[in-house]
């Protein structure tokens, strides 16, 4: 009887395992159909002009530069295209490996900007082993997208998919050239959508656990229909290799950039002219909101598009052109794809009430506006916040463009300022809805703050404005 039960259990487990196995996707046909449109890209740089680091490969500042890592990996195997002498035995050149994919039969090819950045020559190797010299049509560093053109016809092309239909947990597949191994295939699932990464405010990245390594950059990310849904761009790594965190640029963002590069070689991106941040639970309480959501306006940039509208510091943007904003990272991509000079409708929460504001979208400038504080004057007395504040000097007011408000934090002594994250050098501009015009006004406001309730403090730190929640316990 026991043997029969054990035997039945074994059969059941085998059937269960077989059913699970049967549900796993088979990528063979997808790879056969789509791999011909994936290319290998070599960008040739003069050794004397570049250190050949490819910044988009990893978010870890301690990563080994790509060529150094590859030299070690291929040492003694003769598979890495190494340095070459110039025509007269002068300066050498080296190859940076990346991936790309063909989007038109006339020879348009997509890859990452960082793959071809500062290249003296771009070589595209097709799946049929042909090597063609590519022309750079244009590139956009902010989204890390580059458009190339080769002289060829009737090329195999990829099919572009719909990112809106892509679901978290869905299977995806990458084809590329990791470590120089051409047409390598790796698969995984979509881990998240709409990820914001440092320095990439205008890209809502697709996060996956697909094994992406140096050389995969610029390659396509496919869904199970064989459609491209993203361009592999970055990894988070401490070692320079795959650690389960890979990021792809959504293909709809890529194709929007492509159209602009085709038409003029440059990208015009919408600009609202504000600094924003996430709404935390404590900030939501201070703003009179029932839960944390939206993007709070920390600063309206002078002479920016929003400065000519009714949008104010402290407004919480909860919708842009009818699209809800849950996280602050969702707003910049929406603004970025909005046509310049379009009048956009913005829904905000102001002092607990809903308002609709219209703003004429401007053109995003090349360089952000920043300002720096100078040496602080002698300190004064501490207060209920646990910090020492002093008046701004005339030089500081000029640098920070603050003619009639603000005091600067000289030192942070204890809580609640320490817990709130306030730092020496921060300029306090507002406390709750009260503008801090000088040290006397600051002291008066602090004396009247309630106990046991979250309040918001608006600071300026290294050219950026930020709301911080703080609570006085006694």
| Three-state secondary structure string covering the chain | CHHHHHHHHHHHHHHHHHHHHHHCCCCHHHHHHHHHHEEEEEEEEECCCCCCCCHHHECCCCCCCHHHHHHHHCCCCCCCCCCECCCCCCCCEEEEEEEEEECCCCCEEEECHHHHCCCCEEEEECCCCCEEEEEEEEEECCCCEEEEECCCCCCCCCEECCHHHCCCCCEEEEEECHHHCCCEEEEEEEEEEEEEECCEEEEEEEEECCCCCCCCCCCEEECCCCEEEEEEEEECCCCCCCCCCEEEEEHHHHHHHHHHHHHHCCCCCEECCEEEEECCHHHHHHCCCCCCCCEEEEEECCCCHHHHCCCCCCCEEEEECCEECCCHHHHHHHHHCCCCCCEEEEEEEECCEEEEEEEECEECCCCCCCCCCCCCCCCCCECCCCEEEEECCHHHHHHHCCCCCCEEEEEECCCCHHHHCCCCCCEEEEECCEECCCHHHHHHHHHCCCCCCEEEEEEEECCEEEEEEEECCC
Do 231 and 207 touch, CB atoms closer than 8 A?
Answer: no
Q: Within 13 Å and on the Cβ side, how many CA atoms surround 255?
A: 16
Query: What are the beta bridge partners of residue 320?
Result: 323, 346
Q: Could you list the active site residues? A: 114, 144, 217
Q: Give me the residue label for tokens 């792809």.
A: 248
């Amino acid at each position: 009887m026991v043997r029969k039960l054990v035997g039945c259990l074994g059969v059941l487990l085998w059937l269960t395992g077989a059913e699970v196995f049967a549900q796993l996707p088979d990528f063979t046909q997808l790879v056969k159909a789509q791999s011909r449109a994936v290319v290998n890209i070599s960008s040739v740089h003069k050794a004397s002009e570049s250190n050949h680091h490819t910044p988009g490969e990893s978010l870890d500042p301690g990563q080994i530069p790509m060529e150094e890592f590859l030299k070690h990996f291929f040492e003694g195997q003769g598979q890495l295209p190494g340095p070459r002498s110039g025509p007269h035995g002068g300066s050498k050149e080296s190859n940076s490996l990346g991936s790309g994919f063909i989007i038109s039969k006339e020879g348009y090819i997509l890859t990452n900007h960082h793959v071809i950045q500062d290249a003296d020559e771009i070589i595209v190797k097709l799946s049929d082993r042909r090597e063609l010299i590519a022309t750079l049509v244009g590139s956009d560093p902010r989204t890390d997208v580059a458009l190339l053109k080769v002289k060829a016809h009737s090329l195999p092309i990829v099919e572009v998919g719909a990112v809106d239909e892509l679901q978290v947990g869905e299977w995806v597949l990458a084809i590329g050239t990791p470590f120089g191994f051409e047409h390598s295939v790796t698969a995984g699932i979509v881990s998240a959508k709409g990820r914001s990464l440092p320095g990439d405010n205008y890209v809502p990245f697709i996060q996956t656990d697909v094994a992406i390594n140096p050389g995969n950059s610029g390659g396509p990310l496919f869904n199970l229909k064989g459609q491209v849904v993203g361009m592999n761009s970055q990894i988070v790594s401490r070692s320079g290799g795959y650690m389960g965190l890979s990021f792809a640029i959504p293909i709809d963002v890529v194709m929007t950039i492509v159209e602009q590069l085709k038409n003029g070689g440059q990208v015009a991106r919408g600009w609202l002219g504000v600094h924003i941040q996430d709404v935390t639970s404590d900030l939501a309480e201070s703003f009179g909101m029932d839960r944390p959501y939206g993007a709070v306006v920390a600063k309206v940039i002078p002479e920016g598009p929003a400065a000519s509208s009714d949008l104010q510091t402290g407004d919480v943007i909860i919708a842009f052109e009818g699209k809800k904003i849950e996280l602050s990272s969702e707003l910049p991509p929406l603004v970025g794809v909005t046509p310049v000079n379009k009048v956009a409708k913005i829904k905000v929460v102001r002092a607990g009430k809903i308002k609709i504001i219209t703003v004429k979208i401007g053109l995003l400038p090349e360089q952000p506006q920043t300002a720096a504080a100078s040496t602080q004057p002698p300190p004064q007395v501490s207060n209920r916040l646990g910090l020492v504040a002093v008046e701004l000097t005339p030089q500081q007011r000029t640098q920070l463009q603050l003619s009639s408000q603000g005091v600067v934090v000289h030192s942070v002594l204890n809580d609640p300022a320490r817990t709130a994250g306030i730092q020496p050098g921060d300029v306090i501009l507002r406390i709750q809805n009260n503008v801090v015009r000088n040290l006397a006004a600051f002291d008066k406001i602090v004396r009247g703050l309630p106990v046991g309730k979250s309040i918001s403090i608006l600071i300026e730190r290294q050219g950026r404005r930020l709301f911080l929640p703080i609570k006085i316990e006694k």
